Amino acid sequence: MAEPLVVLSGVNKHFGDLHVLRDINLSVDPGEVVIVIGPSGSGKSTMCRTINRLETYESGSITIDGKPLPQEGKELAQLRADVGMVFQSFNLFAHKTILDNVTLGPIKVRQKAKAAAEKEAMALLERVGVAHQAQKYPAQLSGGQQQRVAIARSLAMEPKVMLFDEPTSALDPEMINEVLDVMIGLAKDGMTMIVVTHEMGFARKAANRVVFMADGQIVEQATPEEFFTNAQSNRAKDFLAKIL
Ligand code: ADP
Ligand code: MG
């Protein structure tokens, strides 16, 4: 058996008095696609941000590919490259072209030569269907196109795992599928993914496992098939009744 790629063991975090992550245990294998769902405020974003070290935590441990999360410096930059993250808001650099958005990280953090970085960036932009927009600026693209650029930008760092935090929830409905299709392609290609989303069609198509969170805890986990037809906890049943 391959070692798990991402392991959270007994992770706890507070925001002041709020116990936002409670003894989180989660292990994600290479190539696995894990969907995280749960009510607003249950700690899904905080968990993702903790895995990427955008948030600290107080107890427990997190390892990526067997290594503990670094605290600072060069190792932290390396971690951020290894753990790609795509947010609800696209977070592209507004004053840089699409191509420059994608090449910046590989040149700065991975020390790639510019020509090689641009060649790879164009291949990635092709893969997400926006290669023809390479010389434009983010504001000239639709939300769906910008989010696909954000995915290409993360992929350019050759991450070991990709985190997606509600990547389609800021998009107009007609743009949701073009982003989900890119993610389904990534999943098929074997990318390890942790995806916070309420897109159940995507979960059924792409997920190996659904993790249901409520009040800072992982309440249950199951295959999508099991979870959507036979959720065990009342919290999950209530949640599903509201969204399905
Ligand atoms: P979810 O993504 O599941 O909606 P979050 O992880 O964003 O949940 O938030 C979990 C809880 O932590 C919420 O009650 C939220 O208000 C709180 N919270 C999130 N970020 C902060 C912060 N930076 N400071 C204080 N409280 C926060
Ligand atoms: Mg959130």
Q: Which residues contact 188 (CB under 8 A, 6 or more apart)?
A: 206
**pLDDT score, position 75:** 85
Other CB atoms within a 10 A radius of the CB of residue 227 amount to: 24
Q: Which residues contact 145 (CB under 8 A, 6 or more apart)?
A: 130, 133
The CA angle 36-210-29, to the nearest 5 degrees, is: 90
Q: List strands edge to edge, sheet with 209-214.
A: 83-86, 161-165, 192-196, 33-37, 209-214, 217-222
Instruction: Give the tokens for residue 238.
Output: 């209530």
What is the chain's mean pLDDT, rounded?
A: 95
Alpha-carbon span 125 to 120, nearest angstrom: 9
Alpha-carbon span 102 to 125, nearest angstrom: 9
Under DSSP, is residue 204 helix (H, G, I), strand (E, B) or coil? helix
Q: Kindly indicate whether the ipTM for this predicted assembly is greater than 0.95, answering yes or no.
A: yes
Residue nearest to atom 26 of ligand 1 (CA): 15
Instruction: Give the tokens for residue 175.
Output: 């743009």
Q: Which residue of 22, 45, 51, 56 sits with most ligand 1 atoms within 8 Å of its CB, as the best mutation to test the pocket? A: 45
Task: Say if CB 136 and CB 97 are below 8 A apart.
Answer: yes
Q: Which residue of 42, 45, 46, 219 sits with most ligand 1 atoms within 8 Å of its CB, as the best mutation to test the pocket? A: 46
Residue 243 has pLDDT above 90, yes or no: no
Q: Which amino acids bring their CB within 6 angstroms of ligand 1? A: 15, 18, 20, 38, 40-46
Q: What is the pLDDT of residues 143-178, one digit of tens each?
A: 999 999 999 999 999 999 999 999 999 999 999 999
Alpha-carbon span 17 to 31, nearest angstrom: 37
pLDDT band at 90 (very low <50, low <70, confident <90, very high): confident
| Nearest partner of 12 among 54, 60, 62, 48, judged by Cα | 60
Q: What is the pLDDT of residues 189-241, one digit of tens each?
A: 999 999 999 998 999 999 999 999 999 999 999 999 999 999 999 999 999 99
